[in-house]
Amino acid sequence: MDPRHDYEPIPPPPVTRDELTAGLRQIGLGHGDLVVAHVSLSSLGRVEGGAAAVVDALLAAVGPEGTLLLPRFSTYFDLGGVYDRRRPPPTWTGRVSDCLVGRPDAILSLHPSHAVVAIGPQAHAVTAGHDRVSPLGVDSPFDRMAQRGGRVLLVGVNQRANTTIHTGEAHAQVAYWGKPRPDRPQGLWSLDELGDRRWVRLSELPGDSYAFVNVEPFLAARGLVASGRIGRASIRLMPGKGLIAAVVEFLRQDPGGLLCHRPGCSFCNWARQWLSAPPPEH
């Protein structure tokens, strides 16, 4: 007991599935929507039913006509050189995406390092052939989501978690995008469902997103971000296509605007060299 009080503090009640759905509705998510969601489960505080309740709430918000997409990224350094689609490596993008993978109708895309999991009528169209296209760039699931009128939802995370900003870097053709990185493998072996082995090129691997928060005021000034709260978490919803267009405009004004200045950030310090490099001779 806290000696300053003569009562036990009462913890706040857990967030329920219905409260989650109501919060998503309030911010503008509706039936038939295509949405990519980035969710921090812990940011919500206690959730009745945990990650499964969050998946249920997201699916309820978009309804059976809607399509839900979640990143299920993994670190390719953990793959031991071979990516086995039948046993995907652990993800670092949260328990909610793992929970969606377990649903019977879910489709896990084939990309070894930047897979996405999707459920709904547009799931196949946005995930197909992911291992043959850019992980996050032009024609990636994030790009397809945006071009089809999809939206980006952030739950308890800020713009650093907003993968579609990388898609904007690709569309802007910012000088560092897609340059081969000395600190990353060029590709790896992948096993499909039948155990057949194929070499997958890892091109256009994204860099650091620490400075992605810089774009938030730019988005807000264009009226692109709807904000709300669920439990302890702040939530944001924005149109994918408008987001990408705004990132392109932001980078035209300041090509280094999404690079951080942390001395220890090897990516941003490397990427900045491309911005000052002379244009190639013709």
Rule CB under 5 A: which residues touch Zn ion? 208, 210, 260, 265, 268
CA angle, corner 277, sides to 276 and 281, nearest 5? Answer: 145
CB nearer to Zn ion: pick between 132 and 262: 262
Query: Minimal distance in Å, beta carbon 247 to Zn ion?
Result: 16
- What's the closest the beta carbon of residue 167 comes to Zn ion, in angstroms? 18
Considering beta carbons, is residue 143 or 208 the nearer one to Zn ion?
A: 208
Q: How far is the CB of 23 from Zn ion (least distance, A)?
A: 32
Shortest CB 99 distance to Zn ion, Å: 30
Question: In the complex with Zn ion, which residue's Cβ is closer, 210 or 274?
Answer: 210
Which of residues 29 and 260 has its CB atom nearest to Zn ion in the complex? 260
- CB of residue 259 vs Zn ion: minimum separation in angstroms? 6
Query: Which lies closer to Zn ion via its Cβ, residue 197 or residue 261?
Result: 261
Match 């812990």 to its residue by tokens.
42
Length of the chain measured in residues: 282
Min separation Cβ 268 and Zn ion, Å: 3
264 or 280: CB nearest Zn ion: 264
Of 52 and 265, the one with the shorter C-beta distance to Zn ion is 265
CB of 213 to Zn ion, least distance (A): 12
Indicate the burial class of 78 (C-beta count within 10 angstroms; 0-12, 13-18, 19 or more): exposed
